[in-house]
Structure formats: structure tokens, C-alpha cells
Amino acid sequence: MHKPVPVPDPTSEAYWAAAAEHRLALARCGHCGRLTHPPDVVCPHCLSTDPGFTFEPVDGRGTVRSWTVLRDSFLPGFAEDIPFVLVDVELDVQADLRLIGRLVDGPDTPLRLGDRVVTVFDARDDGPPVPAFSLDPTAEGAR
């Protein structure tokens, strides 16, 4: 049973192409210059209807704002991974820019709000690597 494979489309193909090279690339608005994720029809910051998003590599470091440990899954392919941790991360690169991904350090990892993480990539057999997170070993107070 395979996990859901991302299907790139014109709004996302640059994101997944970068992920294939283990780089996190996010959409920057050509009008106001701010990042947004996921890219929408309009820029959520300046409301431009012609945001002309370009994807550019960003620093994948961030801060844990919440997490959940999944002990059941409602999607194919995750049964063998249970339990696993998903973290809600605010990236350093822009205030309130949030991503959700797996924490690859395991379900017993002690976590606190404010823990520092780095973006890593979760390899898949049948699709592009999927952005995920790991506790930042270089962070002050890292355990």
C-alpha cells in the first residue's frame, strides 16, 4: 500500500522539482515580494490577482508551534508508520509562515513549544521526497 503521491500542477511543479533535489522552495509574490504557502489564486498578503509566484529556495529552519502523535491513520500507506509525529512549524524566513510535516526523530521524541527544527526530506519509492522536519542539533539547548 503506497502513501498518497503528490501530483504536481502548474502552481506546484517548481516546489516538487526543488524537493526532488532536497531543497525547500516556496512561492514569492512578484507584486509584494512576500512568501506564501500554499500558493493561492491571489497573494494573501497584497491580494494581487496576478501574483506571478516564483519559487525560490528558503532556509528550512523553524520553530515548533504544535504537534500531534498519530496512533491511527485515515490514509493508505501509513499503517506501518504508526505511531508517527506531525509538527506544525513556523519558518524563520517570514513571520507566521507555517508548514506541517513529519518529525523524523520518532514518536518518543520529547517536544516542547518553541523547539527548533530543520527541514529534511522523507524519501519515497514512488514520488518526490516529501519535506519533513528534524530537531535542530545545533540549536541552543538542543537535547
Partner 1 sequence: MSDRFAARSQVAVVGYAHSPVRRHHDVPLGALALDTALAAIADAGLTKDDIDGFTTGSLLPTSGGHASVDGVSVVTANWLAEHLGVNPRFCAGFQGFGQIPGSVTMAVNALATGAADYVVLHRALHNPPRGRYHANPMTRAAGPMQWVAPQGYFGPLSMIALPYNEYLQRFSASRDAMAAVLVEARANGARIPWSYWHEKPITPQDYLDARVIAEPIGVLDCDIPVDGVAAFVLTRADRARDLPHKPVYVAGYAMGSPKRTRLPTHWPLDDIMEAGFEIRRRLEDATGVTVDVIDVPQLYDGFSPFVYFWLESLGLCPVGEAHRFVQEGIDAAAGGLPILSGGGALGNGRMHGVPQMLECYLQLSQRAGDRQLASATVGLACHSSPHFGGAVMYTAEPL
- Site residues (CB under 8 A) for partner 1? 2-9, 12, 36-38, 40, 44, 65-76, 78, 81, 84, 86, 88, 96, 98-102, 112-113, 122, 124, 127, 130-132
Long-range pairs of 80-87 with CB within 8 A, sequence gap ≥ 24: 83/107, 85/109, 85/111, 87/111, 87/117, 87/133
Query: CB 121 → partner 1: shortest distance, Å?
Result: 11
**Minimum CB distance to partner 1 smaller for 112 or for 138:** 112
50 vs 138 by CB, closer to partner 1: 50
Classify residue 65 by burial, with Cβ atoms within 10 Å: 0-12, 13-18, 19+.
middle
For residues 41 and 70, what is the distance between their CA atoms, to the nearest angstrom?
32
CB of 6 to partner 1, least distance (A): 4
Strand partners, 78: none
SS3 for 75-92 is CCCCHHHCCEEEEEEEEC
Distance CA 137, CA 109 (A): 13
Least gap, CB of 22 to partner 1 (angstroms):
15
| Shortest distance, position 38 Cβ to partner 1, whole Å | 5
- Min CB(71)–partner 1 separation in Å: 6
Which of residues 20 and 138 has its CB atom nearest to partner 1 in the complex? 20
> Number of C-alpha atoms within 13 angstroms, CB side, residue 122?
17
Q: Which is nearer to partner 1, 27 or 61 (CB)?
A: 27
- With respect to partner 1, which residue has the nearer C-beta, 22 or 37? 37
